[in-house]
Structure 1
Amino acid sequence: MGGCKNQGPSYDCCEYDITVFDGKKQKESFIEFDGAFYHIYHGTLQETSPDILLQYDGMTILLDEQWELRMLLSKIKEKKEQIFNAYIKSCLVEAGVCITKTKNGLNTDPYSSSWLKCAAYFLADAVSVLNFHRPSPVHMLKILREFDKNKINELISPITESIGIERATPSLLSRMLKSTKGFSDLVEDNFHSKMISQKYRYMIDNSLFSDCYFYLGYINRNNFIKIPDLHRKPELIHMLKTGFDLESDTTKIESEANKLHQATNSLLSLSHE
């Protein structure tokens, strides 16, 4: 078992993350049982991807008769710094790619502002892991705000400004929720939207508006980057305009892209110090 229920902080709305190491290439799924949600993943003991190994770090073992999982977790612990560094590098590369797509498509690509949002979230992921915190979308904004002040964490403000958290209002979040759920059903088709609704309700009830905005955008980022041949699906922009709360002013988009480009270069430099 991983996730925030295993390694806090955790809210009542959070699900239990369960990974079954059966080597199957099945999509993740969601199960609701006795009032609780379970997020089911399928894993392999031969995993090499840093973003997945990062999630395995610190897992609680529920069943491991052959001690194979214990061996994997031991190796992850030994190579934790390497795994974290590889993940950070991957996030910064992805951010750079997204920024390039934003700039190149300013007047031609309907998804240019979507790529800008993706870049900001990849940078947020990088900053989180540079502070040795596993990305956790519901809690991430709160955690980012609590990091000690230093050169790396000074970049959190421009990143969250690009995401747009200051625009969060209950009415906007309600519209974002509908689009986010619809986009999730379209891309994932695994009842994740029920989990999204539960987390949304919790955050709205607890006046965590900026956190909710950050969370919904993060989910949309994760689903957006899964879509192949985006240029053949221009109709999705109508869903993303609301789900991502996209900016339409190309001058502002370009300005934000330049700001994130500087942040990416700064993080690349600081991550090697």
Structure 2
Amino acid sequence: MSTATTSGRWPSLSTTPTNLSGVNTDHVTWGVPAGGGKSGYVFTGGQVDVKVDGSEFVLGTFTHENFPVQALPVPQFDVDLAVQVVFEDGTTVDFTFTFHHNETPNNTANPEDLVDLPSFVSPQSVTVDGEEYAVVISGFKQGGRVVRQFVSAENAANSADVVAIFAKVGKPDVVITQVQFKGQVKRTQADEFVEVVNRGTVAGDISGWKLGADDAGQDFTFPAGTVLQPGQRIRVYTNEVHPEWGGFSYGINKPIWNDKGDAAKLHDTSGTVVSTHGYGSAKTQP
């Protein structure tokens, strides 16, 4: 592991919003203010730990200045981001991503703006110790939770860390990253879950894979068509259904995961253990 310095700029937009300024800087704005100021994006970089073991790190902080503006001719458009990473040895690489902006009307019941990432993988790569890596964005981290879509409250400057992974180019890397083994629901602990993420640069088909604790009746088989996109994370709950996390559930009316500690294991269709994650007293890293 080494350190690197990141910085960002917004080099282009797919359209030209009214009153556009700051293109090719770290702070781009647009719109005729209808209240406190213009709308815009800010990217703030800094010093980061470069990890190539698949663990996540903060690439920088994204801020959306979501202030009311007069209606735009094109309310949805793409905003390109270039993040420059300068490594300790002087190697410099620009990794690029596209943010999709939805400037929702301010006269609706839900005026929050939405920001999506159409692609989470940088087209650029860098070679570290003879291995080629690209940057995969896991999502936006707010309040300890990583989400794939940024919901920005109206009339405020809303920020979130951009969480990323240095991933080996050309392959998926599906692992267990978290076991919530002590649920808050009394007796059944229905809100227990196991989190799985694809740390690779290409999609991973996990149809037919099994997640379990090596005890009878505690295997969950992923249904046909279960494909994890680069950086995507899902959760398998004990007895709750959360569509925002994929909607997967064991559907069992009793706790599954040992409150003291054990290991969760992910098997592929051949039965090979792809990932083991110790938790509690048996805690390990994925």
TM-score (norm 2): 0.29
Q: Which has the larger radius of gyration?
A: 2
Structure with bigger helix share is 1
TM-score (norm 1): 0.29
The structure with higher relative contact order (CA 8 Å, sep 6+) is 1
